[in-house]
Structure 1
Protein backbone atom coordinates (compact mmCIF):
# COMPACT_ATOMS: atom_id res chain seq x y z
CA UNK A 1 0.00 0.00 0.00
CA UNK A 2 2.82 2.39 0.91
CA UNK A 3 4.48 1.58 -2.41
CA UNK A 4 1.30 2.31 -4.40
CA UNK A 5 0.68 5.61 -2.63
CA UNK A 6 4.32 6.65 -3.09
CA UNK A 7 4.28 5.74 -6.78
CA UNK A 8 1.03 7.65 -7.44
CA UNK A 9 2.43 10.64 -5.58
CA UNK A 10 5.62 10.61 -7.63
CA UNK A 11 3.73 10.28 -10.92
CA UNK A 12 1.55 13.26 -10.00
CA UNK A 13 4.35 15.33 -8.54
CA UNK A 14 6.72 14.62 -11.41
CA UNK A 15 4.54 15.76 -14.30
CA UNK A 16 7.57 17.55 -15.71
CA UNK A 17 6.73 19.52 -18.83
CA UNK A 18 9.19 21.34 -21.02
CA UNK A 19 8.42 25.00 -21.50
CA UNK A 20 9.98 27.12 -24.22
CA UNK A 21 12.08 30.11 -23.34
CA UNK A 22 10.37 33.47 -23.67
CA UNK A 23 10.29 34.67 -27.23
CA UNK A 24 10.99 31.24 -28.71
CA UNK A 25 8.70 29.04 -30.77
CA UNK A 26 6.90 26.16 -29.09
CA UNK A 27 7.65 23.93 -32.08
CA UNK A 28 10.61 21.56 -31.75
CA UNK A 29 13.74 22.75 -33.46
CA UNK A 30 14.37 20.64 -36.56
CA UNK A 31 17.84 19.33 -37.44
CA UNK A 32 19.70 21.68 -39.73
CA UNK A 33 21.97 21.07 -42.68
CA UNK A 34 25.44 20.35 -41.20
CA UNK A 35 27.10 21.62 -44.38
CA UNK A 36 26.09 25.15 -43.34
CA UNK A 37 27.79 24.91 -39.96
CA UNK A 38 29.60 27.92 -38.55
CA UNK A 39 31.88 26.03 -36.17
CA UNK A 40 35.32 27.68 -36.20
CA UNK A 41 37.71 25.48 -38.13
CA UNK A 42 39.54 24.71 -41.31
CA UNK A 43 37.36 26.69 -43.73
CA UNK A 44 37.82 29.89 -41.68
CA UNK A 45 41.60 29.67 -41.89
CA UNK A 46 41.98 28.67 -45.55
CA UNK A 47 42.47 32.31 -46.53
CA UNK A 48 45.77 32.29 -44.63
CA UNK A 49 47.11 29.24 -46.48
CA UNK A 50 49.34 29.12 -49.54
CA UNK A 51 49.47 26.54 -52.32
CA UNK A 52 52.79 24.83 -52.96
CA UNK A 53 54.21 21.46 -53.97
CA UNK A 54 55.79 19.13 -51.39
CA UNK A 55 57.57 15.77 -51.59
CA UNK A 56 55.29 12.94 -50.43
CA UNK A 57 58.01 11.70 -48.09
CA UNK A 58 57.96 14.94 -46.08
CA UNK A 59 54.24 14.76 -45.23
CA UNK A 60 53.50 12.97 -41.94
CA UNK A 61 50.21 11.31 -40.99
CA UNK A 62 50.13 11.39 -37.18
CA UNK A 63 46.46 10.73 -36.58
CA UNK A 64 43.42 9.67 -38.54
CA UNK A 65 39.88 10.26 -37.36
CA UNK A 66 38.34 7.65 -39.65
CA UNK A 67 39.47 4.44 -41.30
CA UNK A 68 40.14 4.58 -45.03
CA UNK A 69 37.29 3.42 -47.27
CA UNK A 70 38.59 1.00 -49.92
CA UNK A 71 35.67 1.63 -52.27
CA UNK A 72 36.25 5.37 -52.08
CA UNK A 73 39.97 4.80 -52.66
CA UNK A 74 39.28 2.79 -55.84
CA UNK A 75 36.98 5.50 -57.23
CA UNK A 76 39.42 8.24 -56.32
CA UNK A 77 42.35 6.35 -57.84
CA UNK A 78 40.55 6.19 -61.18
CA UNK A 79 39.88 9.96 -61.05
CA UNK A 80 43.46 10.87 -60.09
CA UNK A 81 44.93 8.65 -62.81
CA UNK A 82 42.64 10.26 -65.37
CA UNK A 83 42.55 13.93 -64.31
CA UNK A 84 45.37 14.20 -61.75
CA UNK A 85 44.81 15.56 -58.22
CA UNK A 86 42.18 18.28 -58.62
CA UNK A 87 42.07 19.35 -54.97
CA UNK A 88 45.30 19.93 -53.00
CA UNK A 89 45.93 18.20 -49.69
CA UNK A 90 45.72 20.41 -46.60
CA UNK A 91 48.95 20.35 -44.61
CA UNK A 92 50.00 22.22 -41.46
CA UNK A 93 53.57 23.16 -40.67
CA UNK A 94 54.03 22.64 -36.93
CA UNK A 95 57.18 22.13 -34.86
CA UNK A 96 59.33 21.47 -37.92
CA UNK A 97 57.01 18.92 -39.55
CA UNK A 98 54.47 18.92 -42.36
CA UNK A 99 51.36 17.26 -40.88
CA UNK A 100 48.41 16.11 -42.97
CA UNK A 101 45.18 17.80 -41.84
CA UNK A 102 42.73 16.99 -44.64
CA UNK A 103 42.85 14.64 -47.62
CA UNK A 104 43.80 11.26 -46.15
CA UNK A 105 42.16 9.36 -49.03
CA UNK A 106 43.89 11.56 -51.62
CA UNK A 107 47.22 11.11 -49.84
CA UNK A 108 46.80 7.32 -49.79
CA UNK A 109 45.90 7.27 -53.50
CA UNK A 110 49.00 9.33 -54.38
CA UNK A 111 51.09 6.93 -52.32
CA UNK A 112 49.67 3.89 -54.13
CA UNK A 113 50.26 5.59 -57.48
CA UNK A 114 53.89 6.23 -56.48
CA UNK A 115 53.59 10.00 -56.81
CA UNK A 116 56.72 11.73 -55.55
CA UNK A 117 55.35 15.30 -55.36
CA UNK A 118 51.87 16.57 -54.48
CA UNK A 119 50.14 19.98 -54.40
CA UNK A 120 49.17 21.13 -50.89
CA UNK A 121 47.53 24.04 -49.13
CA UNK A 122 50.05 24.92 -46.44
CA UNK A 123 48.89 26.37 -43.12
CA UNK A 124 51.67 27.82 -40.98
CA UNK A 125 50.11 29.77 -38.10
CA UNK A 126 49.37 26.76 -35.88
CA UNK A 127 49.24 27.83 -32.23
CA UNK A 128 49.39 24.47 -30.41
CA UNK A 129 48.28 20.83 -30.58
CA UNK A 130 44.70 21.73 -29.59
CA UNK A 131 44.52 24.15 -32.52
CA UNK A 132 45.92 21.47 -34.84
CA UNK A 133 43.43 18.87 -33.68
CA UNK A 134 40.47 21.27 -33.92
CA UNK A 135 41.30 21.94 -37.57
CA UNK A 136 41.38 18.23 -38.34
CA UNK A 137 38.12 17.56 -36.49
CA UNK A 138 36.29 20.49 -38.10
CA UNK A 139 37.24 19.17 -41.54
CA UNK A 140 35.65 15.80 -40.74
CA UNK A 141 32.80 16.66 -38.38
CA UNK A 142 30.19 17.61 -40.97
CA UNK A 143 30.78 14.96 -43.61
CA UNK A 144 27.56 13.23 -44.64
CA UNK A 145 29.04 9.74 -44.34
CA UNK A 146 29.75 10.13 -40.62
CA UNK A 147 27.63 8.10 -38.22
CA UNK A 148 25.96 9.44 -35.09
CA UNK A 149 28.62 7.69 -33.02
CA UNK A 150 31.55 9.19 -34.93
CA UNK A 151 30.03 12.67 -34.91
CA UNK A 152 29.43 12.41 -31.16
CA UNK A 153 33.05 11.37 -30.54
CA UNK A 154 34.50 14.17 -32.67
CA UNK A 155 32.24 16.89 -31.30
CA UNK A 156 33.08 15.87 -27.72
CA UNK A 157 36.80 16.09 -28.46
CA UNK A 158 36.41 19.43 -30.23
CA UNK A 159 34.62 20.90 -27.20
CA UNK A 160 37.37 19.63 -24.89
CA UNK A 161 39.94 21.42 -27.02
CA UNK A 162 38.00 24.69 -27.31
CA UNK A 163 37.37 26.24 -23.90
CA UNK A 164 35.50 29.25 -25.33
CA UNK A 165 33.00 27.08 -27.20
CA UNK A 166 32.52 24.58 -24.37
CA UNK A 167 31.67 27.45 -21.99
CA UNK A 168 28.54 28.27 -24.01
CA UNK A 169 25.08 26.93 -23.20
CA UNK A 170 23.79 23.80 -24.91
CA UNK A 171 21.53 25.87 -27.16
CA UNK A 172 24.36 28.19 -28.19
CA UNK A 173 26.64 25.26 -29.02
CA UNK A 174 23.86 23.58 -31.00
CA UNK A 175 23.40 26.80 -33.00
CA UNK A 176 27.14 27.01 -33.65
CA UNK A 177 27.26 23.41 -34.87
CA UNK A 178 24.02 23.99 -36.81
CA UNK A 179 22.06 21.12 -35.26
CA UNK A 180 18.98 21.00 -33.05
CA UNK A 181 19.45 21.06 -29.29
CA UNK A 182 17.87 17.60 -29.05
CA UNK A 183 20.47 16.23 -31.50
CA UNK A 184 23.23 17.90 -29.49
CA UNK A 185 22.04 16.13 -26.34
CA UNK A 186 21.96 12.82 -28.26
CA UNK A 187 25.61 13.39 -29.17
CA UNK A 188 26.40 14.35 -25.60
CA UNK A 189 24.72 11.23 -24.19
CA UNK A 190 26.57 8.90 -26.57
CA UNK A 191 29.88 10.69 -25.95
CA UNK A 192 29.35 10.35 -22.19
CA UNK A 193 28.92 6.58 -22.58
CA UNK A 194 32.12 6.50 -24.62
CA UNK A 195 34.03 8.21 -21.82
CA UNK A 196 32.69 5.71 -19.29
CA UNK A 197 33.66 2.78 -21.55
CA UNK A 198 36.88 3.84 -23.34
CA UNK A 199 37.81 0.23 -24.13
CA UNK A 200 34.58 -0.28 -26.11
CA UNK A 201 34.64 2.61 -28.58
CA UNK A 202 37.20 1.13 -30.99
CA UNK A 203 35.21 -2.12 -31.20
CA UNK A 204 31.91 -0.33 -31.82
CA UNK A 205 33.44 1.84 -34.54
CA UNK A 206 33.88 -1.35 -36.60
CA UNK A 207 30.18 -2.23 -36.44
CA UNK A 208 27.72 -1.68 -39.33
CA UNK A 209 26.70 1.91 -40.07
CA UNK A 210 23.03 1.39 -39.15
CA UNK A 211 24.03 0.43 -35.59
CA UNK A 212 26.40 3.39 -35.26
CA UNK A 213 23.51 5.62 -36.34
CA UNK A 214 21.07 4.21 -33.78
CA UNK A 215 21.19 6.01 -30.43
CA UNK A 216 18.98 3.37 -28.77
CA UNK A 217 21.15 0.47 -29.96
CA UNK A 218 24.38 2.23 -29.01
CA UNK A 219 23.14 2.92 -25.47
CA UNK A 220 21.83 -0.64 -25.28
CA UNK A 221 25.29 -2.00 -26.16
CA UNK A 222 27.01 0.20 -23.58
CA UNK A 223 24.58 -0.90 -20.86
CA UNK A 224 25.09 -4.63 -21.41
CA UNK A 225 27.24 -6.64 -18.98
CA UNK A 226 30.85 -6.74 -20.23
CA UNK A 227 30.86 -10.39 -21.37
CA UNK A 228 27.54 -10.09 -23.22
CA UNK A 229 28.63 -6.82 -24.82
CA UNK A 230 31.88 -8.31 -26.10
CA UNK A 231 30.06 -11.39 -27.42
CA UNK A 232 27.45 -9.22 -29.16
CA UNK A 233 30.10 -7.07 -30.84
CA UNK A 234 32.00 -10.18 -31.99
CA UNK A 235 28.78 -11.68 -33.41
CA UNK A 236 27.90 -8.51 -35.30
CA UNK A 237 31.43 -8.11 -36.67
CA UNK A 238 31.57 -11.73 -37.85
CA UNK A 239 28.26 -11.77 -39.71
CA UNK A 240 27.21 -8.63 -41.57
CA UNK A 241 23.86 -10.21 -42.47
CA UNK A 242 22.85 -10.64 -38.83
CA UNK A 243 20.42 -8.03 -37.54
CA UNK A 244 21.09 -6.34 -34.22
CA UNK A 245 18.00 -7.79 -32.52
CA UNK A 246 18.78 -11.33 -33.73
CA UNK A 247 22.38 -11.09 -32.52
CA UNK A 248 21.35 -9.71 -29.12
CA UNK A 249 18.71 -12.41 -28.69
CA UNK A 250 21.26 -15.15 -29.44
CA UNK A 251 23.84 -13.68 -27.06
CA UNK A 252 21.26 -13.26 -24.27
CA UNK A 253 20.09 -16.86 -24.72
CA UNK A 254 23.67 -18.17 -24.39
CA UNK A 255 24.23 -16.02 -21.28
CA UNK A 256 21.01 -17.31 -19.69
CA UNK A 257 22.04 -20.91 -20.41
CA UNK A 258 25.45 -20.24 -18.85
CA UNK A 259 23.84 -18.60 -15.82
CA UNK A 260 25.71 -15.31 -16.35
CA UNK A 261 22.87 -13.15 -17.70
CA UNK A 262 21.98 -10.08 -15.62
CA UNK A 263 18.36 -9.15 -16.27
CA UNK A 264 17.61 -5.41 -16.08
CA UNK A 265 15.38 -4.38 -13.18
CA UNK A 266 11.69 -3.84 -13.91
CA UNK A 267 10.04 -0.50 -13.08
CA UNK A 268 8.39 -2.12 -10.06
CA UNK A 269 11.72 -3.47 -8.80
CA UNK A 270 13.40 -0.09 -9.28
CA UNK A 271 10.54 1.63 -7.45
CA UNK A 272 10.74 -0.79 -4.52
CA UNK A 273 14.48 -0.24 -4.34
CA UNK A 274 14.10 3.55 -4.35
CA UNK A 275 11.36 3.45 -1.69
CA UNK A 276 13.59 1.33 0.54
CA UNK A 277 16.48 3.76 0.04
CA UNK A 278 14.20 6.69 0.92
CA UNK A 279 13.08 4.91 4.08
CA UNK A 280 16.70 4.34 5.11
CA UNK A 281 17.61 7.99 4.47
CA UNK A 282 14.50 9.05 6.39
CA UNK A 283 15.57 6.88 9.32
CA UNK A 284 19.05 8.47 9.32
CA UNK A 285 17.51 11.95 9.45
CA UNK A 286 15.44 10.92 12.47
CA UNK A 287 18.53 9.47 14.18
CA UNK A 288 20.34 12.80 13.95
CA UNK A 289 17.29 14.58 15.35
CA UNK A 290 16.03 16.27 12.19
CA UNK A 291 12.26 16.35 11.94
CA UNK A 292 11.49 15.60 8.30
CA UNK A 293 8.62 13.72 6.71
CA UNK A 294 8.86 11.36 3.74
CA UNK A 295 7.01 13.97 1.65
CA UNK A 296 9.60 16.62 2.56
CA UNK A 297 12.36 14.20 1.64
CA UNK A 298 10.85 13.48 -1.78
CA UNK A 299 10.42 17.23 -2.36
CA UNK A 300 14.09 17.80 -1.59
CA UNK A 301 15.07 15.09 -4.09
CA UNK A 302 12.88 16.70 -6.75
CA UNK A 303 14.36 20.13 -6.04
CA UNK A 304 17.86 18.73 -6.55
CA UNK A 305 16.74 17.14 -9.81
CA UNK A 306 15.22 20.41 -11.02
CA UNK A 307 18.35 22.34 -10.10
CA UNK A 308 20.41 19.86 -12.13
CA UNK A 309 18.13 20.17 -15.18
CA UNK A 310 18.19 23.97 -15.05
CA UNK A 311 21.97 23.90 -14.72
CA UNK A 312 22.04 21.91 -17.96
CA UNK A 313 19.87 24.42 -19.82
CA UNK A 314 16.43 22.77 -19.45
CA UNK A 315 13.43 24.92 -18.56
CA UNK A 316 10.95 22.82 -16.59
CA UNK A 317 8.06 23.43 -14.27
CA UNK A 318 6.37 21.08 -11.82
CA UNK A 319 2.68 21.69 -11.14
CA UNK A 320 1.60 21.72 -7.52
CA UNK A 321 -0.01 18.56 -6.19
CA UNK A 322 -3.72 18.71 -6.95
CA UNK A 323 -3.28 21.23 -9.77
CA UNK A 324 -4.65 20.49 -13.22
CA UNK A 325 -1.93 18.98 -15.41
Structure 2
Protein backbone atom coordinates (compact mmCIF):
# COMPACT_ATOMS: atom_id res chain seq x y z
CA UNK A 1 0.00 0.00 0.00
CA UNK A 2 1.39 3.37 -1.02
CA UNK A 3 0.57 6.79 0.39
CA UNK A 4 1.12 10.41 -0.61
CA UNK A 5 0.42 13.65 1.21
CA UNK A 6 -1.64 16.28 -0.57
CA UNK A 7 -3.79 19.32 0.09
CA UNK A 8 -7.16 18.62 -1.50
CA UNK A 9 -10.51 20.44 -1.79
CA UNK A 10 -12.97 19.54 0.93
CA UNK A 11 -15.71 19.38 -1.69
CA UNK A 12 -13.82 16.65 -3.57
CA UNK A 13 -14.18 14.15 -0.70
CA UNK A 14 -16.99 11.59 -0.63
CA UNK A 15 -17.79 10.50 2.94
CA UNK A 16 -19.95 7.42 2.39
CA UNK A 17 -20.96 4.97 5.11
CA UNK A 18 -18.89 5.25 8.26
CA UNK A 19 -18.11 2.65 10.92
CA UNK A 20 -18.36 5.34 13.59
CA UNK A 21 -21.19 7.92 13.53
CA UNK A 22 -20.22 11.57 13.79
CA UNK A 23 -20.71 13.11 17.22
CA UNK A 24 -21.58 16.71 16.40
CA UNK A 25 -20.51 18.07 19.79
CA UNK A 26 -17.15 16.33 19.45
CA UNK A 27 -16.74 17.68 15.92
CA UNK A 28 -17.44 21.23 17.09
CA UNK A 29 -14.83 20.89 19.84
CA UNK A 30 -12.29 19.71 17.24
CA UNK A 31 -13.30 22.61 14.98
CA UNK A 32 -12.49 25.08 17.75
CA UNK A 33 -9.07 23.47 18.24
CA UNK A 34 -8.37 23.40 14.50
CA UNK A 35 -9.34 27.07 14.16
CA UNK A 36 -6.75 27.94 16.80
CA UNK A 37 -3.95 25.45 16.06
CA UNK A 38 -4.66 24.16 12.57
CA UNK A 39 -4.93 20.50 11.53
CA UNK A 40 -2.26 18.51 13.35
CA UNK A 41 -3.06 15.05 11.92
CA UNK A 42 -4.10 14.90 8.26
CA UNK A 43 -7.19 12.92 7.32
CA UNK A 44 -6.84 9.75 5.24
CA UNK A 45 -8.54 9.32 1.87
CA UNK A 46 -8.32 6.93 -1.07
CA UNK A 47 -8.64 7.71 -4.74
CA UNK A 48 -12.05 6.95 -6.23
CA UNK A 49 -11.97 8.88 -9.53
CA UNK A 50 -15.34 7.56 -10.68
CA UNK A 51 -17.28 8.31 -7.50
CA UNK A 52 -20.40 10.36 -8.20
CA UNK A 53 -19.42 10.63 -11.86
CA UNK A 54 -16.05 12.13 -10.97
CA UNK A 55 -17.45 14.86 -8.72
CA UNK A 56 -15.67 13.42 -5.68
CA UNK A 57 -12.40 11.81 -6.76
CA UNK A 58 -11.52 10.98 -3.15
CA UNK A 59 -13.36 8.89 -0.55
CA UNK A 60 -12.78 9.37 3.16
CA UNK A 61 -10.98 6.51 4.90
CA UNK A 62 -10.26 7.96 8.34
CA UNK A 63 -10.83 11.34 9.97
CA UNK A 64 -14.57 11.86 9.83
CA UNK A 65 -14.65 14.23 12.79
CA UNK A 66 -11.72 16.25 11.44
CA UNK A 67 -13.37 16.58 8.03
CA UNK A 68 -16.65 17.65 9.67
CA UNK A 69 -14.71 20.17 11.75
CA UNK A 70 -13.13 21.59 8.59
CA UNK A 71 -16.61 22.05 7.12
CA UNK A 72 -17.77 23.76 10.32
CA UNK A 73 -14.83 26.16 9.97
CA UNK A 74 -15.75 26.61 6.29
CA UNK A 75 -12.35 25.45 5.09
CA UNK A 76 -12.18 24.86 1.38
CA UNK A 77 -9.07 22.66 1.51
CA UNK A 78 -7.63 20.13 3.94
CA UNK A 79 -4.38 18.20 4.33
CA UNK A 80 -4.79 14.50 3.56
CA UNK A 81 -2.81 11.30 3.27
CA UNK A 82 -3.90 9.71 0.01
CA UNK A 83 -3.60 5.92 0.15
CA UNK A 84 -3.94 3.27 -2.52
CA UNK A 85 -6.54 0.94 -1.04
CA UNK A 86 -9.72 -0.87 -1.98
CA UNK A 87 -12.96 -0.63 0.02
CA UNK A 88 -12.10 -3.52 2.36
CA UNK A 89 -8.61 -2.20 3.09
CA UNK A 90 -10.13 1.23 3.74
CA UNK A 91 -12.43 -0.29 6.39
CA UNK A 92 -9.43 -1.90 8.09
CA UNK A 93 -7.56 1.42 8.12
CA UNK A 94 -10.55 3.27 9.57
CA UNK A 95 -11.09 0.66 12.28
CA UNK A 96 -7.40 0.51 13.17
CA UNK A 97 -7.25 4.28 13.60
CA UNK A 98 -10.36 4.34 15.76
CA UNK A 99 -9.18 1.49 17.97
CA UNK A 100 -6.08 3.39 19.09
CA UNK A 101 -8.19 6.30 20.28
CA UNK A 102 -9.06 6.68 23.96
CA UNK A 103 -12.58 8.05 23.42
CA UNK A 104 -14.09 4.80 22.16
CA UNK A 105 -16.72 3.25 24.42
CA UNK A 106 -16.43 -0.39 25.44
CA UNK A 107 -19.34 -1.23 23.15
CA UNK A 108 -17.87 0.50 20.10
CA UNK A 109 -14.47 -1.07 20.71
CA UNK A 110 -16.08 -4.53 20.72
CA UNK A 111 -18.04 -3.84 17.54
CA UNK A 112 -14.98 -2.41 15.78
CA UNK A 113 -12.86 -5.47 16.55
CA UNK A 114 -15.65 -7.74 15.29
CA UNK A 115 -15.94 -5.67 12.11
CA UNK A 116 -12.17 -5.83 11.65
CA UNK A 117 -12.22 -9.62 11.74
CA UNK A 118 -15.34 -9.78 9.55
CA UNK A 119 -13.65 -7.62 6.94
CA UNK A 120 -10.56 -9.81 6.91
CA UNK A 121 -12.74 -12.92 6.59
CA UNK A 122 -14.45 -11.35 3.57
CA UNK A 123 -11.05 -10.66 2.07
CA UNK A 124 -9.98 -14.24 2.75
CA UNK A 125 -12.91 -15.43 0.66
CA UNK A 126 -11.45 -13.58 -2.32
CA UNK A 127 -7.89 -14.79 -1.83
CA UNK A 128 -6.47 -18.05 -3.13
CA UNK A 129 -5.84 -20.32 -0.15
CA UNK A 130 -2.58 -21.79 -1.43
CA UNK A 131 0.77 -21.13 0.19
CA UNK A 132 2.29 -17.68 -0.55
CA UNK A 133 4.71 -17.52 -3.42
CA UNK A 134 8.39 -17.30 -2.67
CA UNK A 135 9.41 -13.71 -2.04
CA UNK A 136 5.88 -12.61 -1.09
CA UNK A 137 6.18 -9.83 1.50
CA UNK A 138 2.55 -8.65 1.74
CA UNK A 139 0.04 -9.41 4.48
CA UNK A 140 -1.26 -12.99 4.57
CA UNK A 141 -4.96 -12.98 5.45
CA UNK A 142 -5.86 -16.51 4.35
CA UNK A 143 -5.83 -17.99 7.82
CA UNK A 144 -8.41 -20.34 9.35
CA UNK A 145 -10.24 -19.99 12.68
CA UNK A 146 -7.80 -19.84 15.57
CA UNK A 147 -4.92 -18.55 13.45
CA UNK A 148 -7.05 -15.70 12.12
CA UNK A 149 -8.06 -14.74 15.66
CA UNK A 150 -4.41 -14.68 16.66
CA UNK A 151 -3.52 -12.50 13.68
CA UNK A 152 -6.30 -10.03 14.56
CA UNK A 153 -5.03 -9.86 18.14
CA UNK A 154 -1.49 -9.18 16.95
CA UNK A 155 -2.55 -6.57 14.40
CA UNK A 156 -4.66 -4.67 16.95
CA UNK A 157 -2.30 -5.15 19.88
CA UNK A 158 -4.85 -6.75 22.21
CA UNK A 159 -4.54 -9.76 24.50
CA UNK A 160 -6.37 -13.05 23.97
CA UNK A 161 -8.42 -12.40 27.09
CA UNK A 162 -9.49 -8.97 25.84
CA UNK A 163 -10.25 -10.35 22.38
CA UNK A 164 -12.40 -13.13 23.85
CA UNK A 165 -14.42 -10.75 26.01
CA UNK A 166 -15.08 -8.12 23.39
CA UNK A 167 -15.94 -10.83 20.85
CA UNK A 168 -18.60 -12.16 23.22
CA UNK A 169 -20.11 -8.68 23.45
CA UNK A 170 -20.05 -8.10 19.71
CA UNK A 171 -21.43 -11.51 18.77
CA UNK A 172 -24.01 -12.15 21.48
CA UNK A 173 -25.35 -8.70 22.41
CA UNK A 174 -28.59 -8.23 20.43
CA UNK A 175 -28.71 -5.16 18.20
CA UNK A 176 -31.89 -3.88 19.95
CA UNK A 177 -30.10 -3.94 23.29
CA UNK A 178 -27.03 -2.29 21.76
CA UNK A 179 -29.20 0.65 20.76
CA UNK A 180 -30.91 0.74 24.16
CA UNK A 181 -27.65 1.11 26.08
CA UNK A 182 -26.26 3.78 23.76
CA UNK A 183 -25.59 7.07 25.56
CA UNK A 184 -25.94 5.35 28.95
CA UNK A 185 -23.24 4.46 31.45
CA UNK A 186 -23.62 0.82 30.38
CA UNK A 187 -22.12 1.60 26.96
CA UNK A 188 -18.68 1.97 28.54
CA UNK A 189 -19.02 -0.72 31.23
CA UNK A 190 -17.48 -3.89 29.82
CA UNK A 191 -18.44 -6.10 32.78
CA UNK A 192 -22.12 -5.18 32.47
CA UNK A 193 -22.03 -5.56 28.69
CA UNK A 194 -20.63 -9.07 29.16
CA UNK A 195 -23.39 -9.85 31.64
CA UNK A 196 -26.02 -8.68 29.15
CA UNK A 197 -24.42 -10.65 26.30
CA UNK A 198 -24.82 -13.86 28.34
CA UNK A 199 -28.60 -13.41 28.61
CA UNK A 200 -30.81 -15.33 26.20
CA UNK A 201 -32.36 -13.44 23.29
CA UNK A 202 -35.81 -13.23 24.88
CA UNK A 203 -34.42 -11.64 28.04
CA UNK A 204 -32.33 -9.17 26.00
CA UNK A 205 -35.36 -8.09 23.98
CA UNK A 206 -37.44 -7.58 27.15
CA UNK A 207 -34.63 -5.55 28.68
CA UNK A 208 -34.27 -3.41 25.54
CA UNK A 209 -38.03 -2.77 25.39
CA UNK A 210 -38.13 -1.70 29.05
CA UNK A 211 -35.20 0.70 28.59
CA UNK A 212 -36.79 2.21 25.49
CA UNK A 213 -39.86 2.93 27.61
CA UNK A 214 -37.69 4.90 30.04
CA UNK A 215 -36.85 2.29 32.66
CA UNK A 216 -33.45 2.59 34.30
CA UNK A 217 -31.01 -0.25 33.78
CA UNK A 218 -31.51 -1.45 37.36
CA UNK A 219 -35.30 -1.37 37.06
CA UNK A 220 -35.20 -3.15 33.70
CA UNK A 221 -32.94 -5.88 35.09
CA UNK A 222 -35.38 -6.39 37.98
CA UNK A 223 -38.13 -7.13 35.46
CA UNK A 224 -36.25 -10.05 33.96
CA UNK A 225 -34.66 -11.35 37.17
CA UNK A 226 -35.89 -14.87 37.99
CA UNK A 227 -38.25 -14.93 40.96
CA UNK A 228 -36.92 -16.93 43.87
CA UNK A 229 -38.92 -20.04 44.75
CA UNK A 230 -40.43 -19.86 48.25
CA UNK A 231 -38.85 -22.36 50.65
CA UNK A 232 -40.81 -25.57 51.13
CA UNK A 233 -42.77 -25.68 54.40
CA UNK A 234 -41.74 -28.33 56.93
CA UNK A 235 -45.23 -29.01 58.28
CA UNK A 236 -44.23 -31.89 60.52
CA UNK A 237 -41.35 -29.93 61.93
CA UNK A 238 -43.69 -27.05 62.74
CA UNK A 239 -46.15 -29.42 64.47
CA UNK A 240 -43.39 -31.01 66.47
CA UNK A 241 -42.15 -27.59 67.60
CA UNK A 242 -45.68 -26.61 68.71
CA UNK A 243 -46.21 -29.90 70.55
CA UNK A 244 -42.85 -29.53 72.30
CA UNK A 245 -43.76 -26.00 73.36
CA UNK A 246 -47.17 -27.07 74.71
CA UNK A 247 -45.69 -30.09 76.51
CA UNK A 248 -43.14 -27.89 78.28
CA UNK A 249 -45.96 -25.68 79.63
CA UNK A 250 -48.20 -28.55 80.85
CA UNK A 251 -48.10 -29.73 84.50
CA UNK A 252 -47.71 -33.37 85.56
CA UNK A 253 -51.46 -34.04 85.79
CA UNK A 254 -52.12 -32.71 82.32
CA UNK A 255 -49.26 -34.70 80.86
CA UNK A 256 -50.61 -37.86 82.55
CA UNK A 257 -54.09 -37.20 81.22
CA UNK A 258 -52.71 -36.71 77.71
CA UNK A 259 -50.75 -39.92 77.85
CA UNK A 260 -53.84 -41.78 79.09
CA UNK A 261 -55.64 -40.66 75.96
CA UNK A 262 -52.98 -41.69 73.48
CA UNK A 263 -51.42 -44.74 75.12
CA UNK A 264 -53.35 -47.99 75.76
CA UNK A 265 -53.29 -49.85 79.08
CA UNK A 266 -51.08 -52.59 77.70
CA UNK A 267 -48.66 -49.99 76.40
CA UNK A 268 -48.57 -48.39 79.86
CA UNK A 269 -47.70 -51.74 81.40
CA UNK A 270 -44.90 -52.21 78.90
CA UNK A 271 -43.61 -48.69 79.62
CA UNK A 272 -43.69 -49.24 83.40
CA UNK A 273 -41.93 -52.62 83.05
CA UNK A 274 -39.27 -51.03 80.90
CA UNK A 275 -38.79 -48.28 83.46
Normalising by structure 1, report the TM-score.
0.53
In structure 1, what is the equivalent of residue 59 of structure 2? 99
Distance 1:231-1:60 versus aligned 2 partners, 3 A rule: same
- For 1:99 and 1:262, the matched residues in 2 are separated by 48
Q: How does 1:298-317 map to 2 (within 5 A)?
A: none
C-alpha offsets along residues 106-140 of structure 1, whole Å, 9 cap, x if unaligned? 111111122222221111x22x3212211111111
8 A Cα contact 1:148 1:214, kept in partner: yes
CA positional deviation for 1:247: 4.1
How many angstroms does 1:205 deviate by? Answer: 6.0
Deviation digits for residues 51-84 of structure 1 (CA, Å, limit 9, x no counterpart): 2222211111112222333443233222222233
| Counterparts of 1:188 and 1:138, CA distance in 2 | 16
Is the 8 Å Cα contact of residues 148 and 215 (structure 1) preserved in structure 2? no
User: How much does 1:198 deviate?
Assistant: 4.2
- Give 2:170's aligned residue: 191
Aligned residues: 200
Deviations 1:266-313 (A, max 9, x none): 9xxxxxxxxxxxxxxxxxxxxxxxxxxxxxxxxxxxxxxxxxxxxxxx
Q: Within 5 Å, which residues of 2 pair with 1:61-140?
A: 61-94=15-48, 96=50, 97-123=57-83, 125-126=84-85, 128-140=86-98
Q: Distance in 2 between matches of 1:160 and 1:166?
A: 13
Q: Which residue of 2 aligns with 1:208?
A: 184
Q: Which has the higher contact order (CA 8 A, sep 6+)?
A: 1
Tell me whether 1:157 sits opposite 2:115 in the alignment: yes
SS at the partner of 1:132?
A: helix
* Equivalent-residue separation in structure 2 for 1:199 and 1:247 (angstroms): 14
Report the secondary structure of 2:20's partner residue. coil
Q: Note the residue ranges of structure 1 that are not aligned, 5 or more in a row.
A: 1-44, 253-260, 267-325
In structure 2, runs of 5+ residues without a counterpart are 51-56, 125-140, 230-275
- CA displacement at 1:169 relative to structure 2: 5.7
Q: Could you tell me how far apart the structure 1 residues matched to 2:143 and 2:175 are?
A: 21
**What is the aligned-residue RMSD (CA, Å)?**
3.0
Equivalent runs, 1:164-243 vs 2, <5 Å: 164=141, 167=144, 168=147, 170-171=149-150, 173-194=152-173, 197-201=174-178, 203-204=179-180, 206-220=182-196, 223=200, 224-225=202-203, 227-235=205-213, 238=214, 242=216
CA 1:131–1:264: 2 relative to 1, 3 Å: farther
Distance (whole Å) between structure 1 residues aligned to residue 195 and residue 143 of structure 2? 24
Q: How much does 1:227 deviate?
A: 5.0
Q: Deviations over 1:229-262 (max 9, x none)?
A: 2323315xx58xx5x324433xx1xxxxxxxx68
- TM norm structure 2: 0.62
Question: Structure 1 residues 182 and 165 mapped into 2: Cα distance closer, same or farther (>3 Å)?
Answer: farther
Structure 2 residue corresponding to 1:141, chosen from 99, 106, 109: 99
Larger Rg: 2
Residue in structure 1 matched with residue 13 of structure 2 by the alignment: 59
